[in-house]
Structure 1
């Protein structure tokens, strides 16, 4: 793998918009502790919801309809708990004590994944270098889908705007059985190992937590319930399909639409924008004025606020977004917010556009 120079952003001038914005947000919005308390209550509620849904599988799963209902509810709570509470805790934004936030991130181990590697992907590579090709590995997930214009082209990509409709619902299953192992053991384009040394204990946790997840979600219900093993396996599969279908709305709607900006870092690594301006250019909101969307997707609906203030609880973001919109207008900065259906549609337009080998208009170089 060729050596890449770490991207660096322009130093913000004294009159930079973000310095003014930070001061206003900290002096007004962040001084309301009730908004933070609301995030703690929501996080605990979602955790209890997931555990209760699982308990109901064991208590009422002998009735086939209830078996599927509670597996689906477990899938929904898994995703909503992840994009709200776990995501905030990974940014130290749920509790004041960082240790408590770290404990809460172990919910990802309960889901069968690894919080250590996820935080390195997200905090070390995605947030500092959002949408920057070769660095933001949260965007480049697999060769099956060509999102970055610089990614290697395969002939099947011409159909990606069709077949990805069927692959995205497998997102959490892919994460459980493929993505984590690629991060830990992969050698082809494994950018995370360029910046992270994985402790040996994390390899042990990786296998132990996946075995634990399969045990309590599949094996224990098979042993406890009077249901055929294949019925429980099917309900588990439906749990992942329904949860992934809900989750990809957030994953597809914030960085990767047809108008997305994917800058290629210069050879010297010197980017032409400040960090805050870069975040404004590569991040978008969706359904930010919908209370239901805000409850389900937390910091993803107000994703611009999240990228500018990543260590702040997502319950503050509806108020911060009002400030961002005002500054965007005052400083002629890009700010975009789409209904979720339009954002998802625009993502598949991106897939269709990037399904051809030559695509010079999305790299940010022109």
Structure 2
């Protein structure tokens, strides 16, 4: 992995798209006298999704229902897990949930720890590498080759990649399980070796201890309490735990993939000096696609991640404002002759993602083709 400071965006034409857009977005909030952070809608959503995650778990412990009902409750927990990740944790760790940094810190940590993850790694992978260097191979971790999955046209094709459009969703389903079991440690080591993590050895020792303690507490509650305190059969709890993570993993990974791993997005390469000759904001529009902008129910559940164009341009604005900002962004992009990429529905976006997986599984390594 290249260190993040090796890649630079150079806006040689001094394009005024983003300064113009930012003024218009700021004017919108001033004219409406609105905060850029959470509102009543987001607070209610936080309560509903928290209940979707915690209430089924309480019912499992209290009622100890038959296996079928038990698995249904774990399934609902998976829906809550994904919803909290997309709508609450995501905004907070971007500093968008509240104007108070301490509130963002605690909400971000509490909810991500409650789901078994580490905010330290999340902020490096998502906020730094993904948001700054979207779809730049070997830098944006989201498009790195993962075991049997290939998301960039600039990496070698293996024979099994031809079927990745078939098996990809199974691996999406185990992503959050891998996250809580091993990913945080793998990332921590990788980020430290690559220099992305610039903390001292003493700071890293504390961070590693925190990551480990969070996981011990997580498993003690989610597995230990049902089996050891309430005497629910271990096999039943493990089965439900796997169902929860599979549901959450499929939803989380698929929704994130529909913004970048679809047809029409670009995957620019830096030159030998690490320079990408493009304005950073225009790069975001070239690598990001919206979907289902008019579907209010979907927008509510996925935390505005169907408005990824707006999110990548303004990650510190709470997602509840994106539906009103989208027309401003689209009109400004069209005014400057910049494509505003979007798919009209979830179904179209999903088909585009599958087609993209299929295409990438058959492409030659573009580096070799150019050479």
Q: Which runs of 5+ in 1 are unaligned?
A: none
Asked whether 1:206 is paired with 2:211, we answer yes
Deviation string, structure 1 residues 241-299 (Cα, Å, up to 9, x no partner): 11222222312100111322111111112222101111110011111110111111113
1:80 positional shift: 0.6
Q: Give the whole-Å Cα distance in 2 for the aligned partners of 1:318 and 1:192.
A: 40
Answering whether residue 162 of structure 2 is matched by residue 173 of structure 1, we say no
Aligned pair count reads 362
- Show the counterpart of 2:326: 321
Matches within 5 A, 1:1-366: 6-11=6-11, 16-29=16-29, 31-33=33-35, 36-38=38-40, 39-106=42-109, 107-140=111-144, 142-186=146-190, 193-197=194-198, 199-225=204-230, 227-338=232-343, 339-356=345-362, 358-360=364-366
Superposed CA RMSD:
2.6
CA contact (8 A) 1:29 1:319 kept: no
Distance across 2 between alignment mates of 1:318 and 1:169? 29
After TM superposition, the structure 1 stretch with the greater mean CA deviation from structure 2, 35-44 or 312-321, is: 35-44
C-alpha offsets along residues 100-130 of structure 1, whole Å, 9 cap, x if unaligned? 1011111212222111111111112111111
CA–CA distance in structure 2, aligned partners of residues 195 and 34 of structure 1: 29
In 2, Cα distance between equivalents of 1:35 and 1:203 = 31
CA distance in 1 between counterparts of 2:306 and 2:4 reads 32
Seen in structure 2, the aligned counterparts of structure 1 residues 2 and 274 have a Cα distance that, compared at 3 Å, is closer
Instruction: Name the SS of the counterpart of 2:304 in structure 1.
Output: helix
Give the superposition deviation at 1:157: 1.8
- Between the aligned partners of 2:36 and 2:147, the Cα distance in structure 1 is 44
Query: What is the CA–CA distance in structure 2 between the aligned matches of 1:192 and 1:132, rounded to whole Å?
Result: 20
Measured in 2, the distance between the counterparts of 1:170 and 1:15 equals: 42
User: C-alpha distance in 2, partners of 1:193/1:235?
Assistant: 37
Structure 2 unpaired stretches of 5+: none
Of the structure 1 ranges 238-247 and 29-38, higher mean CA displacement relative to structure 2 is found in 29-38
Q: Which moved more, 1:250-259 or 1:147-156?
A: 147-156
